[in-house]
Structure formats: structure tokens, C-alpha cells
Amino acid sequence: MTDQANPAASGPVQPAGVPLRGSEHGAALGPSFYETVGGRATFERLVTEFYRGVAEDPVLRPMYPEEDLGPAAERLTMFLEQYWGGPGTYSEQRGHPRLRMRHLPFKVNPDARDRWLAHMRAAVDSLDLPPLAEETLWDYLQRAAFAMVNTFDD
């Protein structure tokens, strides 16, 4: 008999977006967040919309030395795919993500962070994800953006 007032009484509750595994390093027993939100197509849409804003941003655009934002968009897509349970192409091609190290050459101050978040917020909103998936994705993106701040200078 389970306690209807206490769902945890019937066993462990699995956090949304985290697949159950058969063992610590075993195969997932359910879909990953990546699969749940639509796979590569969803992350490509997210990144395309994000870089649409970055392309016109006077603070962020200079941080991308390549004339074409395409290579940066592909790197971000691969990173997000891998992070959320998709293919490991990012690490296969570029090694460990080392996000803080990769961003050190750039002045990432609170203004840059807030601009990044504004463009990413618009991109996330454009996906029209289910509320829990949207909240899960946005929570990660906010934490990542705050972690990348490496200066408080203007």
C-alpha cells in the first residue's frame, strides 16, 4: 500500500529530465532530456535564435573573432547536445568542455552576462517547451552564465 499523501513513500522520486539508469554507469532506462525536448533540431533552433541576437549586440559580437558566427553556433549546439544527453561529439572534437578556461580570454562582466542571458531568454522562449523542460533548461543556462563572469571591470 502506498501513501498517497507522500509520493516518496512508494520509492525514490527521479528528478525530471534525468534518466533512470540500470546501474551507476549503465545505460539509461528512459529518454534523456535531449530526447525529451526534440533532440538536435531543438538545440539548433535555440542556438540559431540566440546568435541572431548576438550578431547585433555591440558588447557580445566582438567576443566572436570569426567573421561568420556559424562555427561558434556549431560548437554551442554540440556542447548543449552533449550536456543534455545527446551525442558526445563536442568532447570527441574539442576535448573536455572547460568552459571557464575557454572564456578567460574574453571580458565576461555582469553586463556581458546579462546581455548573453537576454538573448538566450528570447531563444528559450522561441522554443515553446513544456514548462518543466523550459524551467530545467533556463535554470542551467542562468547558472552557467553566472559562472562565466571573470571580471567586474567595465
- 95 in any annotated domain: yes
Please check whether residue 36 is in contact with residue 133, taking contact to mean a CB–CB distance below 8 angstroms: yes
CA distances from 29 to 14, 20, 84, 149 (A): 12, 5, 15, 36
Q: HEC string of 131-153? A: HHHHHHHHHHHHHHHHHHCCCCC
- 13 in any annotated domain: no
Alpha-carbon distance of 48 to 124, in angstroms, equals 11
**Closest to 10 in 3D by CA, of 19, 1, 18:** 1
Q: Can you read off the three cell numbers belonging to residue 48?
A: 540559431
Helix (H) or strand (E) holding 54: helix 40-54
The domain containing residue 68 runs over which residues? Answer: 34-148
pLDDT band at 23 (very low <50, low <70, confident <90, very high): low
Amino acid 65: pLDDT: 83
Amino acid 3: pLDDT: 45
- 24 in any annotated domain: no
Q: What's the structural domain count of the chain?
A: 1
- 46 in any annotated domain: yes
Least confidently predicted of 66-70, 87-91, 109-113, 120-124: 66-70
Please check whether residue 3 is in contact with residue 9, taking contact to mean a CB–CB distance below 8 angstroms: yes
pLDDT tens digits, one per residue of 33-54: 999 999 999 999 999 999 999 9
User: First vs last Cα of the chain: how many Å apart?
Assistant: 61
- 76 in any annotated domain: yes
- 48 in any annotated domain: yes
- 23 in any annotated domain: no
What CATH number does the domain containing 86 carry?
A: 1.10.490.10
- 47 in any annotated domain: yes
